[in-house]
Amino acid sequence: MSERVRFFQTGSFAVGNRLLPLDARTVQSDPSRSNSLTSGHRACRGCGEALGARYVLDAAMRATGGRLVTVNATGCLEVFSTPYPETSWRVPWLHSLFGNAPAVASGVATALKARGRTDIRVLGQGGDGGTVDIGFGCLSGMFERGDDVLFVCYDNQGYMNTGVQRSGATPPAARTSTTQAVGPEPGNVFGQGKSAPLIAMAHEIPYVATATIADLHDLESKVERAMGFHGARYLHVLVPCPLGWGGDAAQTVRIARLAVESGLFPVFEAERGEVTAVSPIRHRVPVEEYLRPQARFRHLFEPERRADVIDRLQAGADRNIERFGLLRAEERFGPPLGEGS
Amino acid sequence: MLSQIEGSRAVAETVARCRPQVICAYPISPQTHIVEALSALVKSGRLAGCEFVNVESEFAAMSVAIGASAAGARAYTATASQGLLYMAEALYNASGLGLPIVMTVANRAIGAPINIWNDHSDAMSQRDSGWIQLYAEDNQAAADLHVLAFRLAEELSTPVMVCMDGFVLTHAVEAVDVPGQAAADRFLPPFQPRQVLDPDAPVTIGAMVGPEAFTEVRYLAHVNQLAALARMSELAREFTATFDRPLAPLVSPYRCADAETVVVALGSVLGTLKDTVDDLRAAGVPVGVLGLTAFRPFPVEAIRAAIGPARRVVVLERAFAAGVGGIVAADLAGALPDREMHTVVAGLGGRPVTRDSLREALAAAFSGKLAPLTFLDLDERLLRAAEEVPS
Amino acid sequence: MKAPFAITLRVGSSLANKTGAWRTERPVYVDRLPPCNDACPAGENVQRWLYHAESGEYETAWRELMRDNPFPAVMGRVCYHPCQTACNRGKLDEEVGINAVERFLGDEAIRRGWTVSVTAPPTGKRVLVVGAGPSGLAAAYHLRLLGHEVTVRDAAPRAGGMMRYGIPAYRLARDVLDAEVDRIAAMGVTIELSSPVPDAAAALRDFDAVFLAVGAQLSRRTEIPAGDSARILDALGVLRDVSEGEPPLLGRRVVVYGGGNTAMDVARTARRLGATDAVVVYRRTRERMPAQPFEVAEAEQEGVRMRWLSTIAAADGGTVTVERMRLDETGFPRPTGEYEELAADSVVLAIGQDVDRSVVATLPRVSVADGVVQVGADMMTGQPGVFAGGDMVPSPRTVTAAVGHGKQAARYIDGWLRGEPYAPPPRHPLATFERLNTWYYSDAPATVRPTLDAARRVSTFAEVVGGLDEGSALFEARRCMSCGNCFECDNCFGVCPDNAVVKLGPGERYAIDLDFCKGCGICVTECPCGAIDLVPEET
Ligand SMILES: Cc1cc2nc3c(=O)[nH]c(=O)nc-3n(C[C@H](O)[C@H](O)[C@H](O)COP(=O)(O)OP(=O)(O)OC[C@H]3O[C@@H](n4cnc5c(N)ncnc54)[C@H](O)[C@@H]3O)c2cc1C
Ligand SMILES: Cc1ncc(C[n+]2csc(CCOP(=O)(O)OP(=O)(O)O)c2C)c(N)n1
Ligand code: SF4
Ligand code: SF4
Ligand code: SF4
Ligand SMILES: [Mg+2]
């Protein structure tokens, strides 16, 4: 978790900040950033995943001094970036299958080790489907063996590439094309789904963290921190999908922020199975504020407001807040997260 | 130097001399002895510069191999049966990406019903996966084909599967001349990948290809496989020069020259078949045997040349396609459209293929009584019993 | 060896795919008018000078400020800072302490001796400014900067107008005032003191243009039945005498009549002159008092008592009679017929000031209404060449408004002299709070300015409110959200999923690469200060 710098207008919340020393600014603020995922890709307008991937990879490129190779699961990220004859990647990149990216990454890491090329670091990445569902066996195997891989899940809470079907990361009540907003309990079922980060922690791997595209300093510092460890590491990044969530493209980052500020998406980091820091909620909002701008939750507000369902979602957020101490993070983890002055 | 050695061990030792850099495997009978031996070789340090990865599934095994190969390592794995099917998706991917992975398949039946014994259903199910498939007749061939496989795979950037019959070969102790290290090193230069994940020369591997170029990609893969036929013959000669023993890379004909009927088969059953043919020849029956080492690519020219004018072909199949019949026979019918073609399905799920049964079937062939599709030793009593099972 | 066909690709090749073709809307960088700038009567570009102050470039900040206002140190003390009232940050936590930073810059300039030089070539035109109050001096300053020859004439022995003779020293230290006036004089402005100008018409003959800024210097009187022994003074007189070092004898019990800032200043002055009992009598309630709430509060801290809803019915030696009032439905105070006596050694009237219009008496084309001289939008009176501003024209009657008039008048006079009428640049649309993305701004409560201990205040005319130290001033400057004006936070550059924002380098801002911008609008939403618009693409 990044230490928040002393008060400087936007402190360390904005991407840059001319008032900060260069090394305290984000990688993204650097005009010579690597743009690991470059322009011309075919992601939807305002795609959070495209943004998240560049954020993560550019940070990893900086952390590794450019000694990085990547492995990518099937999914939007892969499809929109590499339609023959053009690729948007500027880093070494390998796509094999939907469900095997963690294992392929293990193979790459193992090969590099066997070849004595431990200067090169490996980053695997995939969507939530590729990570928490179909790739989960491989992911767990990679964790359990402790292969030297940082695996990054870009969580857009559904199988977007195939047309927005439900995944194990789809939140309750969300409408997808396989959990339609029809019937007495419209949208995705309550009581299902899993927390991949918590399961990752149960493997007691060196480092697990969650992040979003709404807090770049935090995200980058986590990538950098992850790269400071060897062995299996996991980063779970929330990346809203304007298409699948039915949000205005311009609101992609804002919606990610509301997910955090409502408590629905806890942002934390853990080492060897123990939570070591959480990002406190800065301006708490009711879940409704997060749900409303998204068409996938429209049935909670039209034709009439479904207070019962909204309350259940709020209860989930409250539980996160309680469980991770999102409102009193400083009590648990000391002061450095906030603004000093 | 010949030594009495279990087939699995001979293969493991041979693979080790090919200096793989990444070995990954998931246990399944009858492959286990191979990977156990390799694991010990790596762990003890006798196989240096190699990492052994205990993966959580065959899917992961092939995936690790894919990653390793793409990162410039010589990668090896072994499996069988259910494991091969569990890899299926990754098999196509490895060949599609042109990654020179070598894999041993210790051939075994596929369930249900679950059955751990030998037949060829597993490898046959992946015949169109884009892998080169080589079938070993005995453990010497099994060992030698691995050396050839690595060389071929890396020269052509394509994965190679070496098939050896489960238990029959893997667990059989025979005299094998395990390739020596020095000779192996001469035959097999270090791996020079055609494409590699390298920060100093970044590339995108595994792009999405649409209708505009997909056919061409597939066509080029076909051309590459066909090129392998010629190259295999050359490499076999080089192999012989290096190791001082013959290696049949495509087909191995036995007493075919003047045969009226040729029995075609793959794998260890060829031994029994040759004995049967010897018996029949002694009785004046003009019969020969053609062993197929290469099933993919399918060596049409070599088959035609070996079979010569024989008018009848009996294909002894260790697998079959329900609802149709022979798998190998279908390919042979394409290569030899003008011959009388019979399929004899035999040895499924580990049932022994006996000389008596074979003799009987061939006698039927010569007397014109062999049906186009025959199940050898089909047990009528069991079938009747099956009928009577109350519903 | 040749790479495999089609499935292995050369990196970065997607640059050939110009996704800009998808766009239906495009982001456009804009500058919006920050509410502080909008509210500043002197037309200061507050956001802009804060921007420089944020980076610790105080001199640049001061020079930016000086483009509009030659009195930063004075402003930082006496301005009622409507900019802060308008400040968007007030909706987030607390408004930015603009005024405190302004004072810091002004003081820093004095401390470091920063000066302003005239670089414009001489125009050969001569302008007379009548009155050396803030309005006149500001006009002189700007006219001088524009290359004109300027003479300021004032009836008083010292320059400054109400800044010197009205506002007490405990709010505006005189050395500060002197420094800022001297800096104007040093630019080559001729200031002629004790030189009343009785007749503008006469002056017009000697000058190419005249700017009148004589203020509202006449104390309004009211009829209070008073005995001979009653000691009744007017506020301006008291304050002037105090300023000149000749404090009048007010006695121990002083009643001040009125509810404006002048009333507060007089009452607080009375306390400093030794009055044990200073009572402000006002006919309405606290809420309706024209005085600034901070002044009322500070007065109360210093022991000044308030009598709301009261009028003075009569005064005699030693006592005043006050009548209780009540507000009717319209909020107007009505007599109740209930009376009360207050002990009073003196009564000071602070019920308003009027303009002495004799200076325009000989100019029939100059019109006067509601007691003040009328001017057009160009600050010109009905008499061509005669301009007016400050308290003598319709105005909120503050130093800042007077300074603003001075600036405006200078620009119009310049245009008039050059024969090219001045056209003010178009104002940008307002940078409203709704356009901000405030999540990005650090949580930062306002800095509190040091104040003199109340006990000490009643015995000294030393300044009550202190300045900020550098650290606090910097902090305060950095609370500015830069509403509507890019402050180079790099957000747009960072948040574009298509890398379609180009960073042009420090101070150069950014550009959109329309080859790749898909028009998603994320940059627009995530710009903290609302400096990007999303506009429909022309098809
Ligand atoms: C007690 C008091 C406290 C105040 N406190 C504040 C405050 O805290 N903040 C604030 O913003 N405003 C305050 N004001 C209001 C503010 O001082 C005036 O609005 C402002 O000074 C008006 O400026 P001006 O230049 O128009 O006129 P003035 O400041 O009144 O200056 C007019 C000048 O013209 C001169 N003059 C007049 N007639 C002639 C003539 N015929 N020939 C030559 N010279 C002439 C006068 O001598 C004087 O110097 C206060 C006013 C008073 C009375
Ligand atoms: C084995 C297999 N099953 C299904 C698919 C079809 N498929 C491709 S991408 C995808 C969804 C990807 O979802 P996710 O991993 O969440 O990534 P996203 O597209 O949402 O970024 C699916 C179902 C596939 N390619 N392979
Ligand atoms: S569907 Fe969603 S994740 Fe996929 S490219 Fe579009 S916005 Fe991105
Ligand atoms: S996002 Fe930041 S850098 Fe971009 S226009 Fe707005 S203030 Fe300027
Ligand atoms: S974020 Fe990028 S693509 Fe979206 S509108 Fe801004 S410049 Fe265009
Ligand atoms: Mg997804």
Listed by start position, the domains of chain A span: 31-330
Residue C226 pLDDT level (bands cut at 50, 70, 90): confident
Q: Of all residues in chain A, what percent carry a pLDDT higher than 90?
A: 89
Distance CA(A187)–CA(A58), nearest Å, equals: 36
3-state helix, strand, coil in chain B (%, to 5): 40, 20, 40
pLDDT the model gives residue B39 = 98
Residue C471 pLDDT level (bands cut at 50, 70, 90): confident
DSSP string, C401-436: HHHHHHHHHHHHHHHHHHTS---PPPPPPB--GGG-
Residue A336 pLDDT level (bands cut at 50, 70, 90): very low
Residues B235 and B272 in one domain: no
Q: Of all residues in chain B, what percent carry a pLDDT higher than 90?
A: 98
Residue C1 pLDDT level (bands cut at 50, 70, 90): low
Residue A7 pLDDT level (bands cut at 50, 70, 90): low
Proximal ligand: closest to the CA of A129: 2
A41: nearest CA partner in chain C: C14
Structural domain range at position B30: 2-243
**DSSP H or E stretch at residue B252:** strand B251-254
Distance CA(B290)–CA(C55), nearest Å, equals: 87
> A121-157, pLDDT tens digit by residue?
999 999 999 999 999 999 999 999 999 999 999 999 9
Residue C331, CA distances (Å) to B293, C14, C283, C287, C335 in order:
109, 72, 11, 11, 13
Interface contact flag, C497 A48, Cβ < 8 Å: yes
CATH number at residue C531: 3.30.70.20
Residues C342 and C305 in one domain: yes
Q: Which of C172, C194, C214, C268 to mutate to test the pocket of ligand 1 (most atoms within 8 A of CB)?
A: C214
> B209-235, pLDDT tens digit by residue?
999 999 999 999 999 999 999 999 999
Q: In what order do the strands lie in the sheet with C232-234?
A: C232-234, C346-349, C253-257, C277-281, C305-307
Residues B302 and B172 in one domain: no
Tell me what the pLDDT averaged over chain C comes to: 94
- pLDDT beyond 50 at B51: yes
Q: Are C377 and C288 in contact (CB under 8 A)?
A: no
Q: Are C211 and C413 in contact (CB under 8 A)?
A: yes
Residue B93, CA distances (Å) to A96, B85, B217 in order:
6, 13, 13
Q: Are C248 and C340 in contact (CB under 8 A)?
A: no
Please name the member of A13, A47, A88 whose beta carbon is closest to the beta carbon of C439: A13
Please name the member of B203, B216, B217 whose beta carbon is closest to the beta carbon of C3: B203
Pocket of ligand 5 contains residue C500 by CB under 6 Å = yes
* Residue B107 buriedness (CB in 10 A; 0-12 / 13-18 / 19+): buried
Please check whether residue C426 lies inside any domain of the structure. Answer: no
Distance CA(A49)–CA(A27), nearest Å, equals: 18
ipTM for this model: 0.97
Distance CA(B17)–CA(B149), nearest Å, equals: 13
C360: amino acid identity, one letter:
V
Please check whether residue C2 lies inside any domain of the structure. Answer: no
Q: In what order do the strands lie in the sheet with B251-254?
A: B251-254, B287-292, B261-265, B312-317, B340-345, B373-375
Centre of ligand 2 from the C-alpha of residue A127, in Å: 8
**Pick from A38, A211, A208, A239: which is nearest to A127 by CA?**
A239
Residue B37, CA distances (Å) to B47, B177, B288, C102 in order:
11, 17, 38, 81
Q: What is the DSSP letter of B254?
A: E
Q: Which of A49, A51, A96, A98 to mutate to test the pocket of ligand 2 (most atoms within 8 A of CB)?
A: A98
Angle in degrees, 0-180, between the axes of helices A48-63 and A252-261, rounded to the nearest 10: 80
Angle in degrees, 0-180, between the axes of helices B300-307 and B328-335, rounded to the nearest 10: 80
Q: Which residues pair with C190 in a beta bridge?
A: C151
CATH number at residue B181: 3.40.50.970
CATH homologous superfamily of domain A31-330? Thiamin diphosphate (ThDP)-binding fold, Pyr/PP domains (3.40.50.970)
Q: Are B375 and B349 in contact (CB under 8 A)?
A: no
Residues B34 and B153 in one domain: yes
Structural domain range at position C510: 13-31+486-536
Distance CA(A246)–CA(A314), nearest Å, equals: 20
Please name the member of A9, A16, A42 whose beta carbon is closest to the beta carbon of C490: A16
Evaluated on CA atoms C323, C326, C331, C334, the torsion sign reads negative
CA B384 to chain centre: 35
Question: What tokens were used for B52?
Answer: 């052994």
Among the candidates C352, C383, C402, a domain finishes at: C352
Q: Determine if the peptide bond prior to A303 is cis (ω within 30°).
A: yes
> A71-86, pLDDT tens digit by residue?
999 999 999 999 999 9
Please check whether residue C8 lies inside any domain of the structure. Answer: no
Nearest protein CA to atom 17 of ligand 2, as residue: A127
- pLDDT beyond 70 at A2: no
- pLDDT beyond 70 at C455: yes
Residues C231 and C345 in one domain: yes
Decide if B66 touches C, using CB distance below 8 A: no
> B296-319, pLDDT tens digit by residue?
999 999 999 999 999 999 999 999
Within chain C, what is the greatest distance between any pair of CA atoms?
117
Does the global pTM surpass 0.90? yes
**Nearest-neighbour CA in chain A from B55: distance (Å):** 7
- pLDDT (mean) for C225-251: 90
Angle in degrees, 0-180, between the axes of helices C134-145 and C174-185, rounded to the nearest 10: 30
Residues C282 and C338 in one domain: yes
**Nearest-neighbour CA in chain C from A194: distance (Å):** 28
pLDDT, greater one: B16 or C222: B16
Angle in degrees, 0-180, between the axes of helices A101-114 and B58-70, rounded to the nearest 10: 50
Proximal ligand: closest to the CA of C522: 5
Length of chain A: 341
Proximal ligand: closest to the CA of A155: 6
- pLDDT beyond 50 at A331: no
Nearest protein CA to atom 8 of ligand 4, as residue: C486
Q: Are B53 and B22 in contact (CB under 8 A)?
A: yes
pLDDT the model gives residue B383 = 95
Residue with tokens 């928040």: A4
pLDDT the model gives residue B302 = 98
Which residues have a Cβ under 8 Å from the Cβ of B222 and sit 6 or more positions away?
none
B387: amino acid identity, one letter:
E
**Which range has the worst mean pLDDT, A52-66, C297-311, C514-528?**
C297-311
User: Which residues of chain B make contact with A145, given a CB cutoff of 8 A?
Assistant: 53-54
Q: Are C170 and C457 in contact (CB under 8 A)?
A: yes
**Which range has the worst mean pLDDT, A14-18, A224-228, B2-6, C458-462?**
C458-462
Residues B60 and B135 in one domain: yes
**DSSP H or E stretch at residue C367:** none
Please check whether residue B386 lies inside any domain of the structure. Answer: no
Q: Of all residues in chain C, what percent carry a pLDDT higher than 70?
A: 100
B224: nearest CA partner in chain C: C4
Distance CA(C448)–CA(C445), nearest Å, equals: 9
- pLDDT beyond 70 at B200: yes
Residue A6 pLDDT level (bands cut at 50, 70, 90): low
Proximal ligand: closest to the CA of C237: 1
Centre of ligand 4 from the C-alpha of residue C478, in Å: 16
pLDDT the model gives residue C456 = 78
Three-state DSSP at A150 gives strand
DSSP string, A256-318: HHHHHHTTSS--EEEETTEEEEEPPPSS---HHHHHTT-GGGGGGTSSS--HHHHHHHHHHHH
pLDDT the model gives residue B364 = 96
CATH number at residue B267: 3.40.50.920
Distance CA(C239)–CA(B87), nearest Å, equals: 97
CATH number at residue C98: 1.10.1060.10
CATH number at residue C363: 3.50.50.60
Question: What tokens were used for A332?
Answer: 């648990």
Residues C44 and C94 in one domain: yes
Question: What tokens were used for C132?
Answer: 């050396």
pLDDT the model gives residue A259 = 98
Distance CA(B104)–CA(B119), nearest Å, equals: 15
Q: What is the DSSP letter of B106?
A: E
Decide if B198 touches A, using CB distance below 8 A: yes
Interface contact flag, B199 A100, Cβ < 8 Å: no
Question: What tokens were used for B18?
Answer: 């090919």
Pocket of ligand 5 contains residue C465 by CB under 6 Å = no
CA C468 to chain centre: 19
- pLDDT beyond 60 at A340: no
Q: Determine if the peptide bond prior to C455 is cis (ω within 30°).
A: no
Q: Are B282 and B276 in contact (CB under 8 A)?
A: no
Chain C touching partners, 3 or more CB pairs below 8 A: A, B
Which residues have a Cβ under 8 Å from the Cβ of B37 and sit 6 or more positions away?
B8, B9, B12, B13
Q: Which of C481, C492, C496, C501 to mutate to test the pocket of ligand 4 (most atoms within 8 A of CB)?
A: C492
Which residues have a Cβ under 8 Å from the Cβ of C471 and sit 6 or more positions away?
none
Domains in chain B, number: 2
Among the candidates B226, B243, B260, a domain finishes at: B243
Distance CA(A39)–CA(C13), nearest Å, equals: 9
**Nearest-neighbour CA in chain C from B191: distance (Å):** 12
pLDDT the model gives residue A332 = 44
Please check whether residue C210 lies inside any domain of the structure. Answer: yes
Among the candidates B221, B243, B265, a domain finishes at: B243
Among the candidates B187, B220, B243, a domain finishes at: B243
Pocket of ligand 2 contains residue A129 by CB under 6 Å = yes
Q: Are B94 and B159 in contact (CB under 8 A)?
A: yes
In this structure, how many other beta carbons lie within 10 angstroms of the beta carbon of residue A308? 8
- pLDDT beyond 80 at C121: yes
Three-state DSSP at B51 gives strand
- pLDDT beyond 80 at A330: no
Please name the member of B24, B65, B204 whose beta carbon is closest to the beta carbon of A93: B204
User: Which residues of chain C make contact with B192, given a CB cutoff of 8 A?
Assistant: 1
pLDDT the model gives residue C458 = 81
Centre of ligand 6 from the C-alpha of residue A298, in Å: 20
Q: Are B372 and B341 in contact (CB under 8 A)?
A: yes
Nearest protein CA to atom 3 of ligand 3, as residue: A241
Q: Are B248 and B326 in contact (CB under 8 A)?
A: no
Among the candidates C477, C509, C528, a domain finishes at: C477
Please check whether residue C413 lies inside any domain of the structure. Answer: yes
Residues B228 and B309 in one domain: no
Interface contact flag, C480 A9, Cβ < 8 Å: yes
Three-state DSSP at B77 gives strand
